[in-house]
Amino acid sequence: MAGSIYSMTGFGSAEVKRGGGLARVEIRTVNHRHLQVKARLPFVHAPLEPQLEALVKKALARGSVQVQVNLETEVAGTSVTVDHKLAKAYLKEFRALGEAIKVDGDLTLAQIAALPGIVSSTEESNDLAKEAKWILATVKAALVDLKTMRQAEGEAMVRDLRVWAKAIAKQRDLIAKRSPKVVAQHSIKLRQRVDALLGDGQSVSAKDLAREIALMADRLDVNEELARLQAHLDQLESLLIKGGAVGRKLDFLAQEFMREANTIGSKCSDAKTAHHVVELKACIERMREQVQNVE
């Protein structure tokens, strides 16, 4: 069963409403050699960062990841408490004081409410544990959205990589077809050069000439490099079918493609072959650019 290839570039978001509040998470990713997570959380939920990073590491293999978390909650309620027992005690004592010092009068409700300890207010605190679960659930949903986008981009990249692989194979075949002609042409030129140097009436033994031609053919032989190029193409297709976090393997493979192309270019002094090598390198470079963004 074929696996999926994922791009390291993507964006995912999610919103989860609870009561009158809203948790919003946005995740942006770009390519990076390793997995790097940077999170921005509400101050009171900063301790959640390790759990958030664990969720990201479980979902993604590579990339630079930025997570933005916003939490909008209802304004915390305020409760007011009136100490009736204390109010009665105040009133009783003030009345006793009035009788003792012979002063008439009574306390008003406003005056009693203003006395210390009669009225108190407490702000209802939000449940941080519930909010933490709420945030993490929203992060999970955003990661699902992110992976969907990264997978879609990965599928497009696979199509492009196969296009470049086909182009590489075409140049490889053209070089392979041209190679025997290159050896033959150099053999003819070698014979002509020997004849020109020796002049009329002199000749070199067929054995010596055959040895020189064999040495020259060996120097020009690129069959081994062409065979390795084909092996790399086969491995490339296997990795694309396998899927998963194969970006590093593909990057290494692209380097091996270029190594073989450079060797072929150094061996062949033929103009047409050199043209094919230039095209081959251009295709490999375009493929490598795509590979840099594979997870």
The secondary structure of the chain as a DSSP string is: ------BS-EEEEEEEEETTEEEEEEEEEE--SSEEEEEE--GGGGGGHHHHHHHHHHH-SSEEEEEEEEEE-PPPPEEEEE-HHHHHHHHHHHHHHHHHTT------HHHHHTSTTTEEEEEPPP-HHHHHHHHHHHHHHHHHHHHHHHHHHHHHHHHHHHHHHHHHHHHHHHHHHHHHHHHHHHHHHHHHHHHHHH-TT----HHHHHHHHHHHHHHH--HHHHHHHHHHHHHHHHHHHH-SS-HHHHHHHHHHHHHHHHHHHHH---HHHHHHHHHHHHHHHHHHHHHTTB-
| pLDDT tens digits, 66-79 | 999 999 986 555 56
Residue 1 resides in a domain: no
> Which token pair is 169?
């194979």
Q: What is the mean pLDDT of residues 98-117?
A: 81
Q: What is the mean pLDDT of residues 10-35?
A: 94
- In one letter, which amino acid is 91? L
Residue 4 resides in a domain: no
pLDDT-based confidence at residue 273 (cuts at 50, 70, 90)? confident
- Residues 188 and 287 grouped into a single domain: yes
- Residues 206 and 249 grouped into a single domain: yes
Q: What is the pTM of this model?
A: 0.70
Q: In the beta sheet, which residues pair with residue 18?
A: 21
- Residues 88 and 182 grouped into a single domain: no
pLDDT at 217: 57
> Which token pair is 152?
């879609």
Q: What are phi and psi of 137, to 5 degrees?
A: -65, -35
- Residues 47 and 179 grouped into a single domain: no
pLDDT at residue 201 tops 80:
no
pLDDT at 94: 80
**Which of 172, 197, 195 is CA-nearest to residue 277?**
172
- Residues 140 and 171 grouped into a single domain: no
Average pLDDT, the chain: 86
Q: What is the mean pLDDT of residues 112-127?
A: 70
Of 24-38, 59-73, 263-277, the range with the lowest mean pLDDT is 263-277
pLDDT at 209: 57
> Which token pair is 189?
């030129």
Q: What is the mean pLDDT of residues 132-137?
A: 96
Residue 3 resides in a domain: no
Q: How many domains does the chain have?
A: 3
CATH code of the domain containing 18:
3.30.230
b/e burial code for range 195-233 (CB count within 10 A of at least 16 → b): eeeeeeeeeeeeeeeeeebeeebeebebeebbeebbebb
- Residues 142 and 272 grouped into a single domain: no
- Residues 175 and 241 grouped into a single domain: yes
> Which token pair is 89?
């005690």
> Which token pair is 52?
């958030």
Domain end (from 150, 165, 193): 150
Q: How does strand 63-72 pair with strand 35-40?
A: parallel
- Residues 202 and 259 grouped into a single domain: yes
- Residues 156 and 111 grouped into a single domain: no
Q: Which domain holds residue 52?
A: 10-75+127-150
Which residue would you say has higher pLDDT here, 78 or 276? 276
